[in-house]
Structure 1
């Protein structure tokens, strides 16, 4: 079976479930051959999907296209059934799409508290609502509560990633995109962050697309694993099935 046929089969298998996020026939490229070639993907509400593959497979390009940072050559991006392909990054954020890019996404010159309040501006009108959301984040990320007056550049790597995730969650998004959130972090911190993601999906119905090189950790919290190679989906299956397939792991995931 070709990669395109496998991708079509994967879409069909999820086609009866309403999609909170969908990409349809997506083709993306910067120059020359496309980085993403005809990709189809559907994510239902409340599902955590691990986006897996080697460096250069197209994972980051997919996330940047979904968030609006990169314009596709063709195809569509839909958020809760609505075509957002031609909308801006800011408009997608207002509609409930949030992204935590690789390398954190905080303002290092601002304090933890200021970063969190800034994160709520898009979706939380009013000071009272933002204050309540900030307090909720301090309960969820206890280390941040102790560092609320610290500047971003004074935080450890783990604390910065916590702040980046808290900034995204504080806006109460419907869809969250994450690019390599475990990079450079201690296993204990990774486990804590991933547990928070799993809890958010189950408790609030948050849809999560998680691009991650730490395959074992990602699959441990994911409902599905989607393996990408050369811009095409080569496997889309329950996380436990992906983890248990040695041929797939050796061919595309490097372990």
Structure 2
């Protein structure tokens, strides 16, 4: 793990229409770490990821990826600079096959040989997808669809993965597998992950850094181990 900052967010304000959801968010995400963003429903966690990826336009503040100001860059330009977003609900295209869905992650990339290598790597990570590569998205289980959404993002070779509620609706065994994969990607590939997750115990078990949001603000930003181990903090902000 390194202390070099990959993502810097300063004074970020964003919302929908005239109603602000994010209220002056400051974040610093180091390279090669997993940061878990937790908090109650309505805290602004999903809006934070949508704003970082360009789906929501901020009204104030800065977003810098590896020192580069993203400003008002559209989604596709952020992807080219190394940011990938797996939204809540997985976003698999049901009519396309597993392989066709995966190839969407590399559409913008010119190095076709490396796209092929990336596909092979995803099949090695997710053996169920390799067995079902000719199956349509609607034929997959919930866990397999989550694997497919993650795999498609990885084909883009991101430096920063924004991951929204990957455990939603999944069995505990599948959730544990996904969290173990995130740890593996951090340790072996140096991937940086910003993870929004309602399953707080699971998220903090793999995270290096823990961020608690409440009513559109960051109220705690500390080591994940401190959140895991401090009963007073957990009871006050996380309800367990």
Return the TM-score normalized by structure 1.
0.90
Structure 1 residue 91 corresponds to structure 2 residue 77: yes
SS at match of 2:193: strand
**Matches of 2:9 and 2:165, distance apart in 1:** 20
Structure 1 residue 108 corresponds to structure 2 residue 91: no
Q: 1:93 offset after TM fit, Å? A: 0.4
Residues 92-171 of structure 1: matches in 2 within 5 Å? Answer: 92-123=78-109, 125-126=111-112, 128-171=113-156
Match of 2:27 among 41, 44, 48: 41
Residues 46-85 of structure 1: matches in 2 within 5 Å? Answer: 46-85=32-71
Structure 1 residue 186 corresponds to structure 2 residue 171: yes
Give the total of aligned pairs. Answer: 239
* The structure with more strand, counted as a fraction of residues: 2
Residue 222 (structure 1) aligns with: 207
**Matches of 1:122 and 1:221, distance apart in 2:** 31
SS at match of 1:29: strand
Q: Residues 66-88 of structure 1: CA distance to partner in whole angstroms, max 9, x if unpaired? A: 00000111001111110002101
CA contact (8 A) 1:175 1:207 kept: yes
Structure 1 residues without counterparts, runs of 5 or longer: 1-15
Q: 1:248 offset after TM fit, Å? A: 2.0
Match of 1:251 among 231, 236, 239: 236
**Matches of 2:152 and 2:10, distance apart in 1:** 29
SS at match of 2:35: strand
Structure 2 residues without counterparts, runs of 5 or longer: none
Residue 5 (structure 2) aligns with: 19
CA contact (8 A) 2:31 2:192 kept: yes
Structure 1 residue 29 corresponds to structure 2 residue 6: no
SS at match of 1:37: strand
**Matches of 1:131 and 1:206, distance apart in 2:** 20
Return the TM-score normalized by structure 2.
0.96
**Matches of 1:148 and 1:33, distance apart in 2:** 43
**Matches of 2:8 and 2:175, distance apart in 1:** 27
